[in-house]
Amino acid sequence: MRSDRIKKGIERAPHRSLLRALGFDDEDLRAPLIGIANSFNEIVPGHIHLRTLVEAVKAGVRQAGGVPVEFGVIGVCDGIAMNHEGMRYSLVSREIIADSIEIMAQAHAFDGLVLVTSCDKITPGMLMAAFRLNLPAILIAGGPMLTGDFQGKKVNLISAFEAIGRIKKGEMTEEELIELEKCACPTCGSCAGMFTANSMNCLTEALGLALPGNGTIPAVYSERIRLAKETGRAIVRLVKKGLTPKKLISDASFRNAIAVDMALGCSTNTVLHLMAIAKEAEIPLDLKTFDEISKKTSVLAKLIPSGPHSVPELHQAGGIPAVMKELAKKGLIDTSCLTVSGKTIGEIIEKAENRNPEVLRPIENPYAYEGGIAVLYGNLSPEGAVVKTSAVLPEMMRHTGPARVYNSEEEAYEAILSGKIRPGDVVVIRYEGPKGGPGMREMLSPTSALIGMGLGASVALITDGRFSGGTQGACIGHVSPEAAEGGPIALVEEGDIIEIDIPGRLLELKVSDEELEKRKKKWSPPKKKLKGVLKKYYVLVKSASTGAVLE
């Protein structure tokens, strides 16, 4: 066992002495040592209940003959960090999470890892560490939140964001807003729609590094505790068999996950995260792969924010196994891929059943015949840009309009709420990319304001930043190269005409090459005073088109 390096031999008497100080006995010293990375904290609703899950994981580990040892991992709540300086630290935390797990696992010679996670950057950060370390590892998420009820309608966190625009438009009172905020997030768990947290936890299940049910069992269900207990037993089996992530997961596993991504219309952040995870797995993955799979994968569900259904409803409909079974009917899933359950995808989906064709459409009757994410290229995005097509209204799939240019999220947000944006405009928010932010902030507040102000069917938004999984509308992010590195988005001027053709995969600035060259000669990057972790991140981070990885 790997942990023998801290447990066996006369030279390890001091190490054993320290372990005995923890309460280890001789039997513990002979057993597999399982590290449990717990992202519990008291500021994130998706994490507040993780102690309960961890205790269930520990019980499972002990039942299977292992010794569980828990350690902590940071986690940012993107909702609370949104629309202020705090959001600069969210994507940054992904790398720190991966680094911290690597440090703990290497320093203490764990035989295997259970990754207990929930929200946006925590799941991908943990998966990056799993592949980097290549120890037997399995992930379990805290599960999705239930939806709330407001005046007889289902609501969620995004309802509260969009309500701000409704107030500005005079369609809602402040008293109603307070009533809404009290019921929008009624339970613990990751917010109820197919936002980034739930997207990544569903894709981890499809990838094969979590047990069936990981992505969709609600946080408050006892079924989630039972899943945690089985996860504890499963990691000991993986350790005894020597099955590591790189032995289990292949290029086909990633393609399976991307197919599920496209069928469910997941968050555009999945593109960033899957590329970063694949890099740690040493599996080539680029933007073109996402678009290739999208073009042949049908949209089978309209989940919040793209439609009315929540992730708990997807669970009741059959969850990720049912989604994969539908996709497998047309050969879009490699059923031979292995998983941490000890079964292949084919064995898992064999007994799966689509129990609600209104929530999960049969593949013969999809919502759309192309997937939920598209990659756009053109002179405005030579290295690509990403849009969640499943959340775009049909009338906005093609749009041409004048640019309204803002050099920060705050500037654009103020302009939207003060009524300065008109139907037909294309809002451009730049210097919010990985380096430009730094930190590549999510633009949920501006996009929600557009919806709340009634402009979702007439205004597009383009940014070198990124979007929350809760964003809806013709919102195009990850524009690369970013403005801070002199990308064409830095050269856009007020009133320039921008053409968006999502079916044609085109993002074009209607300005001549000669004019752009003149502007480029006059351009210089804005200077920012940075310190601490943001300064380190600025120096090391690469383009969004690479997954915003550090090198």
**How far from the centroid of its chain's Cα atoms is residue 117's Cα?**
12
130 is written with which tokens? Answer: 């799993």
Beta strands in 65-126 (DSSP E): 67-72, 112-117
Give me the amino acid identity at 122: I
Sign of CA dihedral 268, 269, 270, 272: positive
- For residue 213, the SS3 value is coil
Note whether 367 and 302 are within 8 A (CB): yes
Ligand-binding site membership of 120 (annotated): yes
Q: 35 φ, ψ to 5°?
A: -80, 135
Active-site amino acid positions: 468
Q: Could you tell me which of 144, 146, 273 has the C-alpha nearest to residue 207?
A: 273
CA distance 364 to 290: 22
Q: Could you tell me which of 342, 115, 345, 132 has the C-alpha nearest to residue 237?
A: 342
Work out the end-to-end distance of the chain between its first and last CA atoms, rounded to an integer number of angstroms.
32
- For residue 172, the SS3 value is coil
User: What would the DSSP string read from start to end of 329-342?
Assistant: TTT-S-TT-B-TTS
Q: Could you tell me which of 442, 444, 307, 295 has the C-alpha nearest to residue 374?
A: 295
- For residue 38, the SS3 value is strand
Ligand-binding site membership of 121 (annotated): yes
- For residue 39, the SS3 value is coil
User: Which residues sit in the known binding site?
Assistant: 78, 120-121, 442
User: Which residues sit in the known binding site for Mg(2+)?
Assistant: 78, 120-121, 442
